[in-house]
Structure 1
Amino acid sequence: MKNTLKISLKAGEKIYVNGAVIRVDRKISLEFLNDVQFLLQQHVLQPEDARTPLRQLYFIVQVMLMGQAGEGMEKTRQLFRDTLANLLSTFRNERIRAELKHIDTLVGQGKVYEALKAIRALYPIEEQIFNKDSLQEEQVFAKAVGE
């Protein structure tokens, strides 16, 4: 027998379950007795917040989880494959590259929620990379100006 999953929600919170958006009007606890694809409101990324490569990938996977059907789902899957390939050819950080391959496997196995968690776990590394690159650009610019 599978473990059950219990989630508590506050009044006004939303949860996305198998493509349906559910908003609760009072504090409740939900108990899922079987496998379900869900996303809590605090983990939903808005389009305008998908400003980095990993956040863009997250947004694509999020759309997959939220249950777009038919031709739209195939287009989203193709966008995921294309974006993933671009990220693998762009990132040099081995941990990110290894995790991206793992994320590809998770999505292929239908473990989309786990893929989203794995992408979120990479945000701090991505931020360090961008901050390092930004600092190096500033240093190069400072040297050029100071010469």
Structure 2
Amino acid sequence: MALHITLRNGEKMIVNGAVLRAVGRTQICFENKALLLRGRDVMTPEESDTPSKRLYFATMMAYIDPDGLERHRETLLVLIADLLDALEGLEAKAICTSYAQKIATSDFYAALGDCRRLIDYETVALNRFAAA
């Protein structure tokens, strides 16, 4: 089944490691399997300024850079272990467990969803800490 995506003018997307930018409103139809990330799902190294965001960035790199997979996998294991040690909430630990299962099967795209949940959890915790 084909995947149809519409990009707004200037919106970026990564396809198999290549950065594409739409010129005008653009429709793309993927007829076969490809590694892709929409611009809103791409994080720069500068944006990865918290433990959960660093995990997201490393997961994104493992997803879009299969040639460096072993190096990225080592980084992911260190980052998730550090997060598990730092987190106290059962919900966050459950997200980490789900994430680890996805990483074990190289389902990096789905693991990005768990990272987003961890970022949300971390944001709430940091805001609570700042308010105290």
Q: Same fold (TM over 0.5)?
A: yes
Where does 1:60-139 land on structure 2 (aligned, <5 Å)? 60-69=58-67, 72-136=68-132
How far 1:33 moved relative to its partner?
2.9
Deviations 1:60-96 (A, max 9, x none): 0111122151xx3311110001111111111011111
Structure 2 unaligned spans of 5+:
none
Q: Report the aligned-residue RMSD.
A: 1.7
- The AA in structure 2 aligned to 1:28 is T
Kindly tell me the number of residue pairs found equivalent between the two proteins: 132
Structure 1 unaligned spans of 5+:
137-147
Q: 1:49 — aligned with what?
A: 47
Q: Is the 8 A contact 2:95 2:117 kept in 1?
A: no
How far 1:124 moved relative to its partner?
2.3
Rg larger in structure: 1
TM-score (norm 1): 0.80
How far 1:9 moved relative to its partner?
0.7
Q: 2:3 — aligned with what?
A: 5
Q: Is the 8 A contact 1:6 1:29 kept in 2?
A: yes
- Cα 1:68–1:50, aligned 2, differ >3 Å: closer, same or farther? same
